[in-house]
Amino acid sequence: MLVSTKDMMTKAVAGHYAVGQFNINNLEWTKAILLTAQENSSPVILGVSEGAGKYMCGFTTVVGMVSAMINELGITVPVALHLDHGTFEGAKKCINAGFSSIMFDGSHYPIEENLEKTKALVNTCDVLGLSLEAEVGAIGGEEDGVIGAGECADPDECKMIADLGVTMLAAGIGNIHGKYPENWPGLSFETLAAVKEKVGDMPLVLHGGTGIPDDMITKAISLGVAKINVNTECQLVFQEATRKYIEDGKDLVGKGFDPRKLLAPGFDAIKAKVKEKMEIFGSIGKA
C-alpha cells in the first residue's frame, strides 16, 4: 500500500536521518528501488516528474504499476509515490490518479501566488491524507525541460509557506539538478541554518542530490534536511553499466540481446547506487 510521507518525515526529523527520493523512469527503475528499500528495511519515496509520468503512459499507469509491484514483490516497507516538481494542474491530476504525495513547485511564481496556490493544495491534500511538498527559491540546473537559475531561498518566505501547513519544504540553498560544475561553491549552510531557524521542525528537502559530497549531506541532515532527491546519479550508473555490457560485446553472445539480460547490469547498478545513498542518508533499518 502507498503511504504519504508524513510519518516518514516525522521519524526522520526526530531520528536525524533523511529518506531518499529516487526518481523512476520505467519498470526496471521502480523494481530496483523497491527491492533495495525492502532488502535494507528503509522507507522510500518514488519520485515522478511530469515528463516521466507522460513517458510511462500517464499517472494512472504509474499508480497501477507501483501498487501492483508492491503487492507482487511483497514490499512491506513504507513507500510513497510522489509527484516531483508538479505544476498546479499536474498536482490535481496526480491527486486524482492516486499518488500518495505531491510536490507543488510554485517557486517561479511571485511569492503571493506561490502562497495562494500552495494553500489551495494544502487543503485538498489534508482532506485526502496526502503529503505536500512546497518550494521556495528555485533549484538550479535543468530537469525535464524545467530550467532553474538556482537561488537561495528567503527564510521569511520559507516561514510563510511552512505556516500554511505543508508537510515538507524544499528551500534552494545553492543546490542544482544534474551534475555540479567544477566551480560550484557548495551548499549554502548559512541559508539552510537561517531557514531552519525560521521553520523549526518542518522537514526540509534537498533537491539535486547527485554529486553532493557525503560530508555536505551529513551536515545538511544535521541542519534539518529529512528528504533528499536523487535522479541523475541513477541514470549515470545505468548508462555506464549498459554501455559496458554492449562495449564488451555481451549482447552478441548467445541470447545476450534478450532485454532481460541487456538491462540487468543497469538494474544492478541502480540497486547498488540506491543502497549506497540510503547508507549515507542513514535510512537503513528505519522502516
- Sites of contact with ligand 13P (CB under 6 A): 23, 47, 84-85, 177-178, 207-210, 229-233
Q: Greatest CA span in the chain, whole angstroms? A: 62
The single residue of 84, 105, 156, 215 carrying the catalytic annotation is: 84
Phi, psi of 157 (to 5 degrees): -65, -35
d(CA 129, CA 120): 14
Q: How far is the CB of 255 from ligand 13P (least distance, A)?
A: 34
Cβ proximity of 260 and 53 under 8 Å: no
Q: How far is the CB of 178 from ligand 13P (least distance, A)?
A: 5
Q: How far is the CB of 79 from ligand 13P (least distance, A)?
A: 17
Cβ proximity of 124 and 89 under 8 Å: no
Among residues 25 and 231, whose Cβ is nearest to ligand 13P? 231
Place of cell 560485446: 249
Q: How far is the CB of 22 from ligand 13P (least distance, A)?
A: 9
Among residues 80 and 245, whose Cβ is nearest to ligand 13P? 80
d(CA 193, CA 225): 10
Q: How far is the CB of 180 from ligand 13P (least distance, A)?
A: 8
248 is catalytic: no
Q: Which residues contact 84 (CB under 8 A, 6 or more apart)?
A: 21, 23, 47, 48, 49, 52, 103, 229, 231
d(CA 130, CA 122): 9
Among residues 85 and 196, whose Cβ is nearest to ligand 13P? 85
Phi-psi region of 115 (alpha: psi -120 to 50; beta: other; left: phi over 0): alpha
Among residues 31 and 273, whose Cβ is nearest to ligand 13P? 273
Cell numbers of 269, please?
547498478
Among residues 51 and 178, whose Cβ is nearest to ligand 13P? 178
Cβ proximity of 161 and 136 under 8 Å: yes
- Active-site residues, by number, are 84
